[in-house]
């Protein structure tokens, strides 16, 4: 919107353009020639295409063609829109810090939607402790909340899509109408309603110091609605130690735990938001491979304690499995070209011992009679032949040679190297 470029212009028109009730008291500059806070001239000190002149004398004609620039909202606070349908938009200042910007959204009951635009990308995937992942689509707002209200259920929203709503922008103290309208998509692709009283989490990666602002978008497509939202300032996500993705629960239990990954905590809401304090990811948490939340973990299992693994789907923890089974011992080996190709006692120091295998013996190194496998979970046997092995915590210097025969991975001979 913009004020007219000529003709009649009034305080009520200037109020409306600046998202203020048209009939509100509107002093031109306040009680002095220096524009006072709340005055019309002060409100338009950063208007486009040029600011209103802040130097006296002041005149209504200075507002011709001006567009109000909504003030930014600093990250970290909680916003409440009150009741009423509409489309709401505000610029959030996140500053220069690097990290993840977390948005907590609480549709109090009647369906409401949320999205966050940052650096040219719209983020709208949501999750919650109660229902887990709620996928966003395209640049649409992700609409959540109750889905059983006769006056605002999915079929009603779909039938009326797109819905034309009055636009409200942040005027410095609250959201106010600015005389514009916005068309909002309310089809099945962005309806994820369930029940009321659920707090949702949205994660926006901020991997560099710039840009320093993002656009928060909220929609209330139905009357008598209300919502709360909190946008945290960018920060490094909490971390946990785990394995590279594994396709099975037991496989993750036995895999090497040498990866540091990250998760975002969820929250609960009433008048304010209470952020969870879990130190490990739980069901319903977003999980990532980096501390800014830029890359979601791929589907699969990840161990988080000595006996527990999470299953990740769509970048969210969907379940937790308990009671890991026992794991075989890990070692490394080099297999000679063929069984009997080298004397059993001969060990070649120059060979790179790089093939990993596992065994079920009681000692760290395998012994005669132990069974060897190609994985920690014992899915396949180590092949027949003479294998030069070493302790994985040592160097490439071989420690012994084992002989496997019979196709069942069983060691028929294990003799120390004569170096």
If we measure between CA atoms, which residue out of 401, 405, 403, 404 comes closest to residue 345? 401
Q: What's the pLDDT score for residue 336?
A: 62
Q: What's the pLDDT score for residue 307?
A: 93
Sequential DSSP letters for 255-281? S---EEEEEE--EEESSSEEE---SS-
Return the C-alpha torsion angle 253, 255, 256, 257, nearest 10: -40
Q: How many CB atoms lie within 10 A of CB 198?
A: 23
Is residue 214 a contact partner of residue 114, using CB atoms and an 8 Å limit? no
Phi-psi region of 65 (alpha: psi -120 to 50; beta: other; left: phi over 0): left
Say what the pTM is.
0.81
Is residue 344 a contact partner of residue 412, using CB atoms and an 8 Å limit? no
Angle subtended at Cα 131 by Cα 186 and Cα 101, rounded to the nearest 5 degrees: 75
Q: How many CB atoms lie within 10 A of CB 272?
A: 12
Q: What's the pLDDT score for residue 400?
A: 82
Give the separation between CA 103 and CA 225, rounded to whole angstroms.
19
Domain ranges of the chain: 1-68, 73-231, 239-321, 329-416
Q: How far from chain centre, in Å, is Cα 57?
A: 51
Q: What's the pLDDT score for residue 391?
A: 60
Radius of gyration of the chain (CA): 32
Contacts of 393 (CB under 8 A, 6+ apart): none
Give the separation between CA 56 and CA 39, rounded to whole angstroms.
13
As averages over each run of 10 residues, the pLDDT of the chain (419 residues) reads 90 91 89 90 94 94 94 91 85 96 93 96 97 95 89 89 93 89 91 89 98 96 91 98 94 91 94 93 98 98 96 98 84 59 58 80 83 84 86 63 90 79
Q: What's the pLDDT score for residue 342?
A: 52
Q: What's the pLDDT score for residue 82?
A: 67
């Amino acid at each position: 919107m913009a004020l007219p470029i000529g003709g009649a212009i009034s305080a009520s028109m200037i109020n409306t353009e600046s998202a203020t009730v048209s009939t509100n008291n509107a002093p031109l500059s306040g009680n002095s020639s220096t524009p006072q806070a709340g005055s019309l001239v002060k409100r338009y000190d950063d208007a486009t295409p040029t600011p209103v002149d802040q130097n006296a004398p002041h005149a209504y004609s200075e507002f011709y063609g001006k567009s109000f620039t909504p003030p930014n909202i600093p990250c970290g606070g909680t916003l409440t829109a009150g009741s009423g349908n509409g489309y709401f938009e505000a610029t959030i200042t996140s500053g220069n810090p690097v990290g993840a910007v977390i948005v907590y959204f609480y549709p109090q009951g009647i369906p409401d939607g949320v999205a966050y635009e940052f650096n040219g990308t719209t983020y709208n995937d949501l999750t919650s402790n109660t229902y887990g992942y709620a996928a966003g689509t395209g640049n649409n707002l992700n609409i959540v909340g109750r889905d059983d209200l006769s006056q605002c259920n999915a079929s009603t929203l779909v039938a009326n899509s797109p819905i034309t709503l009055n636009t409200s922008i942040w005027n410095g103290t609250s959201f106010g109408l600015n005389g514009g309208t916005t068309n909002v998509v309310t089809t099945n692709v962005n309806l994820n309603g369930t029940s009321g009283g659920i707090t949702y989490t949205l994660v926006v990666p901020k991997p560099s110091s710039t840009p320093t602002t993002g656009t928060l978008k909220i929609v209330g497509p139905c009357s008598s609605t209300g919502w709360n939202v909190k946008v945290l300032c960018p920060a490094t996500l909490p971390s946990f130690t785990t394995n590279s993705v594994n396709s099975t629960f037991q496989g993750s239990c036995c895999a090497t735990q040498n990866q540091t990954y990250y998760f975002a905590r969820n929250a609960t809401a009433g008048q304010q938001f209470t952020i969870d304090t879990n130190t490990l990811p739980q069901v319903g948490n977003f999980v990532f491979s980096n501390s800014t939340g830029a890359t979601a973990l791929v589907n699969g299992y990840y161990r988080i304690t000595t006996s527990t693994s999470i299953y990740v789907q769509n970048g969210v923890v969907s379940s937790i499995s308990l009671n890991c089974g026992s794991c075989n011992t890990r070692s490394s080996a080099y297999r000679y070209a063929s069984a009997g190709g080298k004397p059993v006692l001969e060990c070649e120091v120059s060979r790179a011992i790089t093939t990993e295998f596992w065994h079920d013996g009681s000692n760290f190194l395998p012994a005669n009679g132990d069974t060897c496998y190609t994985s920690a979970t014992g899915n396949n046997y180590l092949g027949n032949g003479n294998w030069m092995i070493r302790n994985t915590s040592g160097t490439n210097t071989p420690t012994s040679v084992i002989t496997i025969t019979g196709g069942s991975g069983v060691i028929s001979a294990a003799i120390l190297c004569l170096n």
